[in-house]
Amino acid sequence: MIERIYEARHRLLPYIRHTPCVRHTPYRTPLAPNLSLKLENLQLSGSFKIRGAFNNLLQASPEQRERGVLVASGGNHGLAIAHAAHRLGLPATVILPQTAAPDRIARIRSWNATVILHGDNPSDTLLYAQNEAQERGCLYVHPFASEATLAGQGTVGLELLEDVPEIDCAVIAIGGGGLIAGTAVALRSKNPDIRIIGVEPAGAASMYQSLIAGGLTELRESRTIADTLSPRAVSELSLEVARDHIDEIVLVSDEQIVDAMEILWSEWNQLVEPAGAASIAAITSGLIDLSPYRAPVALICGGNAPVGPVFTAFRDKAAHNTDFPPIHHKLHR
Amino acid sequence: MIERIYEARHRLLPYIRHTPCVRHTPYRTPLAPNLSLKLENLQLSGSFKIRGAFNNLLQASPEQRERGVLVASGGNHGLAIAHAAHRLGLPATVILPQTAAPDRIARIRSWNATVILHGDNPSDTLLYAQNEAQERGCLYVHPFASEATLAGQGTVGLELLEDVPEIDCAVIAIGGGGLIAGTAVALRSKNPDIRIIGVEPAGAASMYQSLIAGGLTELRESRTIADTLSPRAVSELSLEVARDHIDEIVLVSDEQIVDAMEILWSEWNQLVEPAGAASIAAITSGLIDLSPYRAPVALICGGNAPVGPVFTAFRDKAAHNTDFPPIHHKLHR
């Protein structure tokens, strides 16, 4: 797997951002003193998902490139695929459940992907997408169950080893488990003692339940505001890697997640989606104590929150100030 | 002045963040191909103002430190002073106009500063603050008219020379002019050919009017959503530096600013205040063309937008998911 991650890194280099890892610490919040934040909300498409997306699309066959890619997604995976497909000139179709947030639909459409709303639960949508992809002969990219996806997400780990060479603990949110699996493999390839702490929403604890049960377990219900962390089951592959590499799992409540979103805003001016604040929630809630670590890192996995009303408010105000014309004036030379 | 900026840098090093400068470029927006963004919205206190604030407070006399600092501010200066004073253990008082945004008041109070609301226009508030400071024997820190403040803000320029060594153009918003003055001096000390482009809201064009008039000019009216760029006059000092170093000035409309805020959100997942998007507005509006430059940089000066409603919406949703208890589970070791 680690070879696949190095290959992915080489493959992705011209296409993605090496995201900032901000090390300085605020003085007053209940965070670890040396904590760094890896800001994957600043990644293209607003989340780490673009890594796996590019890694899949860049390996597509010429026929697949022509027929295009088709995925099911309630969120960041669909957006990442739409973005990467636009960049590479592939047609993209994203199937979303009928309940998908209008904000996400608009973002996906803005990258020229075709959006189809189908089904009212993730399993129906997924099944429909897999069938459609087969019928149309499109490339189908699963959000977390394939090795190419895991290897793509694992490139975050390689960046972290450069950003914080002395890293000794990583706090990472778990949705389908692709991010934590890939990142853990990359980090541990350098130093097997790096502590890996996974964080799930308490209402969507798919990895926790599978690890406890000793096998892939599907939740009967998944209910959390962190919608991009809410698949009802992880994958065999991510579970297998998790078994070897995850040392601790923390389940955070939705309220703790919103608290952490506010802290990320008030201390770092980063507005992120609930999933993006989950790793911070594990710390600020007091559930885990990072003081034993010399260089812990929390991964901010995504930022795609619906903030339209903020702009609407400013646009209303701006409408009162239209009597000043724009000007460009050269003073020197 | 450049010596003062180097001194400031040394002085500030333990207290501020070296903010990220993100170089990778999105593919579809009307931005320059090699544009980098210097994210001062990720600075402590959410804006570059913390640089000048620390540079003033770290030079306060023992008596001043005991009596504390008092400032007038409608925005980021007050927040920066409150933050820096909290960090250094000085009492701080921030005088705001009656019209100040509740969001800003709350942020300033959260750093334990005393907030006093006085006057209904910036000039009244300023006068009151200066009198109060004198009566109480407090340290008074002007938001942009002092050399210590300019030197502090200039440390952004020194960071930029490290972030983008080949920088050949800087696009910087102008409020009181401290940021552009300090940064221009720092950049030009290394390479006098770096092009300096200033951006003002069309409804608060205090630097533009002063440069045109050939002397410090007070606007009769200042009206823009970019409240932190809205002083009715720049200072003698910033005007003097601007005369030597600003090559072009762009006045952007409020509508262009909101457009740029949305682009910063959709392309970079950075939610910023209107002032923070002004430099981008000059580019995305088409008013300036950065294609002749090899390594242009736009400075994102601040991020303190009111986003409370975003959290309220998530908190309402979270209230439906309280039936999942937080858990911390150790798997290995």
Please tell me the distance in Å from A303's CA to the nearest CA on chain B: 6
Please tell me the distance in Å from A135's CA to the nearest CA on chain B: 32
d(CA A198, CA A170): 8
Q: Determine contact, residues B169/B195, Cβ cutoff 8 Å.
A: yes
Task: Report ipTM for this prediction.
Answer: 0.93
Cα nearest neighbour of A112 on chain B: B28
What pLDDT digit, counting tens, does each position of B139-154 carry? Answer: 999 999 999 999 999 9
- What average pLDDT does the segment B206-234 reach? 94
In the predicted model, is pLDDT for residue B73 greater than 90?
A: no
The SS3 of residue A139 is strand
**Residues B257, A317: C-beta atoms closer than 8 Å:** no
**Residues A225, B27: C-beta atoms closer than 8 Å:** no
Residues of chain A contacting residue B249, judged by C-beta atoms under 8 Å apart? 327-329, 331
**Residues B225, A318: C-beta atoms closer than 8 Å:** yes
Looking at residue A121, what is its pLDDT?
75
The SS3 of residue B91 is coil
In the predicted model, is pLDDT for residue B26 greater than 70?
A: no
* Beta strand B248-252 pairing with A327-330: antiparallel
Q: What percent of chain B has pLDDT over 90?
A: 83
d(CA B327, CA B288): 54
Low-confidence spans in chain A with pLDDT less than 50: none
> Of the candidates B225, B252, B330, which has its C-beta nearest A248's C-beta?
B330
Could you give the strand order of the β-sheet that contains A139-140, starting from the edge strand earlier in sequence?
A: A114-117, A92-96, A69-72, A139-140
d(CA B51, CA B32): 28
Looking at residue B141, what is its pLDDT?
96
In the predicted model, is pLDDT for residue B158 greater than 90?
A: yes
Residues of chain A contacting residue B256, judged by C-beta atoms under 8 Å apart? 326
Could you give the strand order of the β-sheet that contains B139-140, starting from the edge strand earlier in sequence?
A: B114-117, B92-96, B69-72, B139-140
**Residues A24, B17: C-beta atoms closer than 8 Å:** yes
- What average pLDDT does the segment B33-43 reach? 95
Looking at residue B304, what is its pLDDT?
95
- Provide the whole-model pTM: 0.95
Residue B126: both structure tokens together: 């300023």
Looking at residue A218, what is its pLDDT?
94
What pLDDT digit, counting tens, does each position of B89-115 carry? Answer: 999 999 998 888 888 899 999 999 999
Looking at residue A262, what is its pLDDT?
94
d(CA A57, CA A140): 10
Q: Determine contact, residues A8/A55, Cβ cutoff 8 Å.
A: yes
DSSP A140: E
Which of A248, A270, A273 has its CA nearest to residue A194? A248
pLDDT band at B216 (very low <50, low <70, confident <90, very high): very high
**Residues B201, A324: C-beta atoms closer than 8 Å:** yes
**Residues A86, B27: C-beta atoms closer than 8 Å:** yes
Q: Determine contact, residues B275/B251, Cβ cutoff 8 Å.
A: no
Please tell me the distance in Å from B96's CA to the nearest CA on chain A: 20
Cα nearest neighbour of A307 on chain B: B310
Burial class of A88 by CB neighbour count within 10 A (0 to 12, 13 to 18, 19+): middle
